[in-house]
Structure 1
Amino acid sequence: MPLLLDAIASSDRMTASLAGLPRLVPPHRSPPELELPLPAYLRSIRDNGLGGFPRRAFEELVTRRSLLGRSSLVLNDPEAIRRVLVENQANYARTTGTLRILRPILGDGLLISEGAAWRHQRRTLAPAFTPRAIDGLVPHIAAAVTGGMERIAAEAAAGPIDLFTAFHRLALEIAGRSMFSVGMDQYGAELRRFIAAYSVKIGRPHLLDIVIPPGWPVPLDWSRARFRRRWIPFLDRIIAARRASTRDEGRSGDLLDLLTAARNPDTDAPFSPSELRDQVATMILAGHETTAGTLFWAAYMLALAPELQERVAIEARGADLTDPTGCQSDGRLPLIRAVVDETLRLYPAAFVIVRRALGPDSVAGHPVRKSDIVMVSPWVLHRHRGLWSDPEAFDPGRFLPGANPPARFSYLPFGAGPRVCIGAQFALTETVLSLARLLARFRLVLEDREPILPHAVVTTQPDRLARFRLIPRVPVSP
């Protein structure tokens, strides 16, 4: 025990440098040497979008290919990315395919709204996502993480567990408690069934989603409409139950309180019931998918790098996690935050940002015509050979205090510009706290010997479920 306490006391010195640790290059599929033929490229969009980027996309700053009579550009040039996402972002809208796929489940919430509707929502929501407001949600996050760790511990006591599914349940519990002040025991299973039913088929992009003009129905639209007719009453039922519940004395305000109290700064108008429902759907779905995936990939990386895992555990066990307010940003957990940041570099949840040009433009000297497709892919950008040193290696040292920060617009795990993810701080807070609590309590050992590869349709997920043994650590004496 004295040796452990001495190690904890010296954790700052240990996290100052990761020199000497074995270099970890996680398993991955090599990109195709050449552009895929159009049929194969369209299949990759439907089945695994990561396979559609050829090798030159990871080496050149701008690549272009023909796509159904238009040009499709992949941007890695930081100035080109700034042009599309910041300087002239009003000229670049969501694609028809994106709207067809996401609107049935997200409605017209912040993630997919456009123009004046988006500006109204963003301005109305902004006060609910300030650092101070997020700190007010931390008690809900902490309670959900505590309960989630107990469930994981109970499951792990019986043998190896499927961590990806466990993290999905944990992230959903965090989202539910933060949104409604209550756990998701009553609604979680039904919500997971909705998500699974949507993602298996009707949430996947198909050729007709891409080529048929807006306003013209495609066959899957009927299935998506049927889904939405069941989905809306389900969300309304959860919101109504939360509003009918008696507020406990001393209960911290939740995200639904913040959304209900939000007012448009121009008109002082609140969200309408349908607008509120769409924001609830967006926050729960987008938030928990991102967190679950990031936690899984971080756990996988640490299982592949046991020496690094031990340093992370020492940092976690030496920190006061009973007061998690701001723990991801106030310097208490620099190595764990660096592990999360590096995980988001190699496995960004939103692997591609796709926009359709509303009018002509020029980016980094490349002409863009009306209706051209412009892509900024964090998956490609974060592995670009001209922007990162040893880009395929997992190296949290890139993000430790004192390291040179990434070049502007070369690291975009939450997007950039006016449409940067409004919930980024919330996501980092829950991810850092969850990972710290997990590693403080367990040593992770991967049971599977076959490599786990990234697979992306909407978000970046493992290509199969993998089992881990969670070995309890000796408790730290007070």
Structure 2
Amino acid sequence: MNIASVRRPIVPPAPPRAPDDMSFFGRLAVIRQNMIATWGQRAYEEEILQGRFFLHKSFILNRPDAIRHVLLSNYENYTRTPAGIRMLRPVLGEGLLIAEGHDWTFQRRTLAPAFTPRATANLVPHMTAVLDETIAKLDTQSGEAVNLREVMQRMTLEIAGRTMFSFGMDRHGPTLRNFIVEYGERLGRPYFLDMVLPVSWPTPMDRARARFRKRWTEFVATLIAERRAAGKKDGAPPRDLFDLMDGARDPETGKGFSDEQLVDEVATMILAGHETTATALFWALYLLALDPDTQEEVASETRGEHLDSMADIDRQKFTRAVIDETMRLYPPAFLIARAARDKDNVAGEAISKGDIIMIAPWLLHRHEKLWDQPNAFIPKRFMSTEAPDRFAYLPFGAGPRVCVGAPFAQAESVLALARLIGAFRVELTDTTPVIPHGVVTTQPGHSPMFRITRR
């Protein structure tokens, strides 16, 4: 895509690229701290890179047609890797992100109606109420140094709680955040045995994860019990995601979720929703602080808008482009890893059973053959008539397993950024470059302080 720009766009900081000849064990040592830093220049230039992963071949795919084959045309041949299952199952159980085969088909069909644009529109009042409260609190800190990453985490958690259960997270929020921090700092990182042993062979970390899962599922069950105690009026329309999910039925079988399944689905939606959206909003605010001119364009677009409905959100074309460009530069899911169930052929490459296929949105979104000025922040590239290839831009994945909550996440992100930038001018007080770290999501290496002032 060729992008014409009147002024020189900003290029935000990124990790230094690894030497292309870094050894396997050298990469292994870096993976637990920042997987993004394990990729060298070739990964940003070549369409397919072949390597080895213990007894199997590994492939990094940067060709849209090859990615289409793996994620769409022959997606049933590719499943999560043992390490991926170990990282996700303790917090997500057998929910939609983990399930395979018939279980996944049932869950996807059953959940889909709860996440349509129409269903999302009914949840916008919950979002606007939380945004009103967040802006009011930030008003009291105008002119002061603020940790906006923490603010975004609290805000999106509150939105998750209200859209899911119709109640605030004042009592439960700190406990939930503690679970997330505890898991992300130690249990959610890959260890050597996690990557080499079959899932059926428990590692020492698996035992620790199992103890965590017991406490975690008990906590989520408590939230569900509290919501059920609040009840639902007969004949009343669903008031939140829980109503939609609890009442959801597979259109083919009429079957709904068991209590155990509902715990996993609720955990999946809360975790996958609030943490990734908080991170995306942090990066958007960081980029706009680095680029005051683009920040003023967002503020100008929101001026005079009420921003309390889906129609209002849909009119924020430039703000949506800023979110799209933010997720290109900082994709929440920086890596999609799959293991081949059986042999295949991908773009002329022979794939054997057990081979590892890696599709890294971090690489794909910055690939030098797919994007003009790939490392620069240029939101207007998403307002161009020349759209990127569908399989060159994967902030929510692609194919049948594309993120079911994408319409919700997009609406929340655009609404929040428009409201926040419409209310405040945002500047950085800390000039230390913020380096992205790929651990569970694309996280900032440190949380800089911002100064916010009322417009």
Query: Percent same amino acid among aligned pairs?
Result: 49
Contact kept? 2:238, 2:244, Cα under 8 Å: no
Deviation for aligned residue 1:246? 5.2
Match of 1:422 in 2: 404
CA distance in 2, matches of 1:19, 1:158: 32
Letter in 2 for 1:430: E
State the partner residue of 1:198.
183
Q: Does 1:451 align with 2:433?
A: yes
Name structure 2 gaps, 5 residues minimum: none
| CA positional deviation for 1:19 | 4.2
Aligned partner of 1:216 among 201, 206, 210: 201
CA-CA distance at 1:183 after TM superposition = 1.1
8 Å contact 1:139–1:252 — kept in the other structure?
Answer: no
Residue of structure 1 in register with 2:41 after alignment: 55
One-letter identity of the residue aligned with 2:192: L
Secondary structure of the corresponding residue to residue 155 of structure 2? helix
- Structure 1 residues 246 and 85 mapped into 2: Cα distance closer, same or farther (>3 Å)? closer
TM-score, normalised relative to structure 1: 0.92
Aligned amino acid, residue 197 of structure 1: E
Q: Is the 8 A contact 1:24 1:394 kept in 2?
A: yes
Aligned-pair RMSD on alpha carbons?
1.6
Residue 228 (structure 2) aligned to one of 224, 243, 246: 243
Question: Is 1:371 equivalent to 2:354 in the alignment?
Answer: yes
CA distance in 2, matches of 1:368, 1:151: 54
Partner of 1:3: none
Shift of 1:403: 3.2
Q: Is structure 2 residue 74 aligned with structure 1 residue 101?
A: no
- What corresponds to 2:329 in structure 1? 346
Name the counterpart of 2:148: 163
Partner Cα separation in structure 1 for residue 109 and residue 6 of structure 2? 48
SS of 1:47's partner is coil
Partner Cα separation in structure 1 for residue 306 and residue 143 of structure 2: 29
* Residues 1:386 and 2:369 are matched in the alignment: yes
What SS is found at the alignment partner of 2:277? helix
Q: CA deviation at 1:243?
A: 1.1
The answer to whether structure 1 residue 433 and structure 2 residue 419 are counterparts is no
Q: Is 1:141 aligned to 2:145, yes or no?
A: no
| Kept after mapping to 1: 8 A contact 2:306/2:312 | no
User: Which residue identity lines up with residue 391 of structure 2 in the other structure?
Assistant: F
How far 1:261 sits from its partner (Å)? 1.0
For 2:111, give the aligned amino acid.
L
Distance 1:18 1:55, change over 3 A: closer
Aligned with residue 24 of structure 1, among 1, 5, 10: 10
Aligned partner of 2:339 in structure 1 is: 356
Residue type of the partner of 2:333? Answer: A
The aligned amino acid for 2:345 is S
Q: Relative to 1, partners in 2 of residues 1:370 and 1:327: Cα closer, same or farther, differing over 3 Å?
A: farther
3-state SS of paired residue (2:426)? strand
Take 1:174 and 1:291, find their aligned partners in 2: how far apart are those partners?
10
Give yes or no for contact 1:326–1:429 (8 Å, CA) kept in 2. Answer: no
- Measure how far apart 1:227 and its partner are: 0.7
Q: Which residue of 1 aligns with 2:256?
A: 270
TM-score, reference length from structure 2 = 0.96
Q: Quick one: which amino acid aligns to residue 61 of structure 1? A: E
The 8 Å contact of residues 144 and 183 in structure 1, kept in 2 or not, is answered as no
Which residue matches 1:317?
303
Give the deviation of 1:158 after TM superposition: 7.3
Query: Aligned partners of 1:147 and 1:157: how far apart in 2?
Result: 15
* Corresponding residue number in structure 2 for 1:476: none
Give the equivalent residue in structure 2 for 1:176: 161
Query: Is the counterpart of residue 395 in structure 1 residue 378 in structure 2?
Result: yes
The corresponding residue for 1:293 is 279
| Closer, same or farther: CA 326–30 of 1 in aligned 2, 3 Å | farther
- Whole-angstrom distance in 1 between the partners of 2:346 and 2:100: 22
Is the 2:35–2:438 contact (alpha carbons within 8 Å) kept by the matching residues of 1? yes
Aligned in 2, Cα 1:225/1:399: closer, same or farther, shift over 3 Å? same
In 2: Cα distance, 1:342 partner to 1:158 partner: 28
CA distance in 2, matches of 1:453, 1:326: 36
Distance (Å, rounded) in 2 between the aligned partners of 1:281 and 1:35: 40
1:192 partner letter: R
Task: Please tell me the residue identity of whatever aligns with 2:178.
Answer: R
Alignment partner of 1:131 out of 112, 117, 120 = 117
Asked if structure 2 preserves the Cα contact closer than 8 Å seen for 1:387 and 1:410, the reply is yes
- Paired residue for 1:11? none
Question: For structure 1, which runs of at least 5 residues remain unmatched after alignment?
Answer: 1-16, 474-478
Conserved? CA contact 1:105–1:231, under 8 Å: yes
Distance 1:386 1:276 in 2: 43
